[in-house]
Structure 1
Amino acid sequence: MPAKTKRKREPSSEVNGPLPDYTITVAPTSDFPPILASSHGISMPPTTEFTPYVHTVNPPAKKPRKAQEFLLYGETPRIGYEGREMPEDGDYRRNYVGIFNPKTNGIELHLAPKLHFSRIIKAHIKRDKLVDGKGVVMGVCKLLSNLWVRGNADLDRGKQNVDSRTALGKEFGTKKSQKRIREIELNKIDVSDMNENITTSIVSQVEANTKDMPTAAELGNQVRENKPIPKVNHDAKHPNEVYNFEDIIGSDEYNVIWVRDWEQGEELKSKSSFVQARIRKLSEDKSKKHTRLLKILRYISYMIDFYLLQQRGGGRLPAMDRVKKALSIDHAIAESFFRRYTEKTISGEGGSDKDICAVSPALANKILYHMAVLCLMVGQYDVDIFELKNDLGMQPKELTLAFKEVGCVIREFTKPQYTAMKMTKAEAAQHKRAVLKIPLEFPKPPTRRARATRR
């Protein structure tokens, strides 16, 4: 058998030929350079229009050339997007945009500032300006008042000392010091008149600036309007007129809620002890059908499951189809939950940006507020929140705060009430009642507390 011989590799031939020569030049700095923008973690509508701005900054003594700051701003009816330059890592890190000219094989490099976008909620800006503005003016008024009282006391003591030194100088001073005293007395100004004029001017300016400032009640109403609670009818004469049922459960959702099994008594079990206790109570009443109340209870159980699901994910949710399957809910209800209680964010996991739906802390509170209103409708606007607290795995303080935000007062069970419910006094102490009554009582807006000082 002939021995195997290795085949020689043929020399490779140059197919593409030598690479062409490129000329790289750096373009002079201009007032209108190209701009690089990044928006990690922010989802902006594709139709948003942005306006560029430039600001010239006086340079430090070591830099001969004036620096420029660039800004991009765009907005939607509710949110503003602001792009600002990020601080540079050292003096030798720059970003350039290259423009290639195929005719001359030249690449022209342009220095490009890099901007990073942040999101601004317009309603918060307006609220903060009003609150901060009032705080500044009130602080100025208080400061002026303290300075005026303290200054008068200091002036009285200082005047006595000056008068004593002046008298001694006139009697025992040198000719030079006596001459200086006479010159001071000739140039003396009546300070009392000057202080009165200054005080009148300051008071008039403060009154003019605070004339149109909103009151504490108006600021409280503005803060309350920004909270994610259902629309409130402040002219309601009865608790059932305060909230509109369709603002929480739309007709498309209501029509796909099925409770025939509960009506027929086939399966009265529910994951929620709050819901289960009430469907059993309704099933005992055979005098009429309770379809509406049963549908609300079924919807409350869906909301509890949705709230617990987003809590387990730290606010992040899987795709809508997976949520629909996990909660066993209709597509119309799943779509409504995502539309009302989630917002889209961008995740950079896996090396690529992708949109995910998440429940922010404010939207999680929105779920609790809407759920609280539905529980009030089911419980004739007087609800024991003990079982609901256990279903949600929350502290009593957190849940009572949610009911207070929708206008409830928190009360304890009276002795006749817990005796009729066959509870002891110790057991009744763990139960709290959320009662919606007219006139409505909402939590007062927080006020700034003065910082404690050590004595």
Structure 2
Amino acid sequence: MPAETKRKRDPSSEANGPLPDYTITIAPTNDFPPILASSHGISIPPTTQFTPYIHTINPPSKKSRKAEEFLLYGETPSIGYEGREMPEDAEYRRHYVGIFNPKTNGIELHAAPKLHFGRMIKAHIKRDRLVDGKGVVMSNVDSRTALGKEFGTKKSQKRLRELELNKIDVSDMGKNITTSIVSQVEANTKDMPTAVELGNQIRANKPIPKVNHDANHPDEVYNLEDIISSDEYNVIWVREWERGEELKSKSSFVQARIRKLAEDKSKKHTRLLKILRYISLMIDFYLFQQRGRGRLPAMDRVKKALSVDHAIAEGFFRRYTEKNVSSEEGSDKDIYAVSPALANKILYHMAVLCLMVDHYDVDIFQLKNDLGVQPKELTLAFKEVGCSIRELTKPQYTAMKMTKAEAMQHKRAVLKIPLEFPKPPSRRAKATRR
């Protein structure tokens, strides 16, 4: 039976006229109660039709009575509106709707669940269903976001909501917008260089001597004057080497070739001996700058330490060093250094000179030991000037009285036509899920 409450008249109000007696009755609960709905920051079209739903929730073991959850759903062609009870409202508050009957002066109170509305984009719902159907695993970022929404502090949850509001979803863009973006990208990238042009541009910026791409023979690819100037060439003295009097070189690569040329008495080898002398000085300069980790003293000190002519010392500083600003206050001294790129330039130019001496087929084993570099670093230098790297053939290492195991340590850098330069780096392929 519904509870009834009789309201008594207030004697103080009789001065303004008697009030009628009315009765307040609490109606029994039923499966279709009236529903209160509220929304925050959402404008719902007045023509939207809503459908109510009810769901029975199994209570915990301490509660014997089953609870009911109400849901109200309506939609437009693009937006869905869903109203649900807030947990704090269902737990601590009760809302009622009173219906007044003027004939009986009675008010009937009906328990009314209060629902709060939120909205969903239907395109997102369809997309999420497709993703769920394909079994796509959430990324680490998505997983952290979901945990933040569920268990994060109020401040972190607010931050996540702000990020979602500012996020752009490409799937919601109209066809005209995406077409416009694509056309603008195409217009802005039409003048970009192709992979071949980009590779040629990268190669042109490499610190290697000038290349003759129209050469028909290896000795036409590089010009000696681009590496050794005439001023330097004219001050290189090799008369003692021509007479075989002494071998002043710390390089085993250079000494081995001087001996070989000295055995050939059929003609003079002045040009090759001068190139070998210059290679020996380049090796000394390379090792000197390595000991100083690229930093060099004044040119006069380098000239004295290496026992070279002023023209050669000046050529080394001009080609292979860069001037740095002095860190000392009031100092007017020029500080020179060999950067890693310039150290590579020394190796590239030296590689070309070695090719000229060895008829464009160089065994790099001795040169590697002279420079104290890794085989990979030196083979890369020869590749950068257009060489292919090969192993010694059986007739070659047999003539040199080597075993096969010893021959495996010797690599040959061969310059041949057409030239083979390293390919420019390409984009890495995207990793695929296993």
> Shorter-chain TM-score: what band?
0.5 to 0.7
Contact 2:235–2:309 (Cα < 8 Å) also in 1: yes
Please list every run of 5 or more consecutive structure 1 residues that lacks an aligned counterpart in the other structure. Answer: 1-165
Q: Is 2:411 the partner of 1:432? A: yes
Question: 2:78, 2:291 → 1: CA distance?
Answer: 81
Cα distance change, pair 193–343 in 1 and its aligned pair in 2 (3 A): closer
* Alignment counterpart, residue 312 of structure 1, candidates 291, 313, 316: 291
How much identity, in percent, do the aligned residues show? 82
Distance (whole Å) between structure 2 residues aligned to residue 281 and residue 369 of structure 1: 24
Amino acid at match of 1:405: E
**Aligned partners of 2:387 and 2:414 also within 8 Å:** yes
Task: Report if the CA contact (8 A) 1:348-1:354 is conserved.
Answer: no
Q: Which residue matches 2:237?
A: 258
1:246 aligns with 2:225: yes
Q: How high is the TM-score relative to the length of structure 2?
A: 0.60
How many residue pairs match? The answer is: 285
User: What corresponds to 2:260 in structure 1?
Assistant: 281
| 1:125-184 Cα shifts (integer Å, max 9, x gaps) | xxxxxxxxxxxxxxxxxxxxxxxxxxxxxxxxxxxxxxxxx9995999xxx979x55x54
The superposition leaves residues 394-417 of structure 1 with CA deviations (integer Å, 9 ceiling, x where unpaired) of 110000111111111110011121
Distance in 1, matches of 2:229 and 2:268, equals 21
Kept in 2: contact 1:293–1:378 (CA 8 A): yes
- Determine the structure 2 residue equivalent to 1:205: 184
Deviations 1:310-367 (A, max 9, x none): 1111111122122112111111111111111111112335985632111111111111
Q: 2:315 aligns with which of 315, 321, 336?
A: 336
User: Offset at 1:420?
Assistant: 1.4
The farther-off stretch of 321-330 and 445-454 is 445-454
Distance 1:198 1:412 in 2: 58
Shift in Å at residue 200 of structure 1? 3.4
Cα drift, residue 269 of structure 1: 4.6
Give 1:223's aligned residue: 202
CA shift for structure 1 position 237: 1.1
Counterpart for residue 119 of structure 1: none
Q: Specify the alignment match of 2:348 in structure 1.
A: 369
Q: Structure 2 vs 1, CA of residues 280 and 454 (structure 1 numbering), >3 Å: closer, same or farther?
A: same
With over 3 angstroms needed to count, the CA separation of the structure-2 counterparts of 1:328 and 1:186, relative to structure 1, is: closer
The 5 A counterparts of 1:413-428 are 413-428=392-407
**3-state DSSP of counterpart to 1:426:** helix
Q: Name whichever of 346-355 and 211-220 sits farther off.
A: 346-355
Name which of 349, 357, 370 aligns with 1:391. 370
Aligned match of 1:214 in 189, 193, 208? 193
Judged with a 3 Å threshold, the aligned counterparts in structure 2 of structure 1 residues 193 and 283 are, in CA distance, closer, same or farther, namely closer
TM-score, with structure 1 as normaliser: 0.57
Q: Amino acid of the residue matched to residue 253 of structure 1?
A: E
Structure 1 distance, partners of 2:343, 2:369, is: 17
Partner of 1:151: none
Q: Which range is displaced more, 304-313 or 442-451?
A: 442-451
Instruction: Name which one, 1 or 2, has greater alpha-carbon Rg.
Output: 2
Question: Which consecutive unaligned segments of at least 5 residues does structure 2 have?
Answer: 1-47, 55-70, 81-120, 127-170
Is 1:379 paired with 2:372?
no
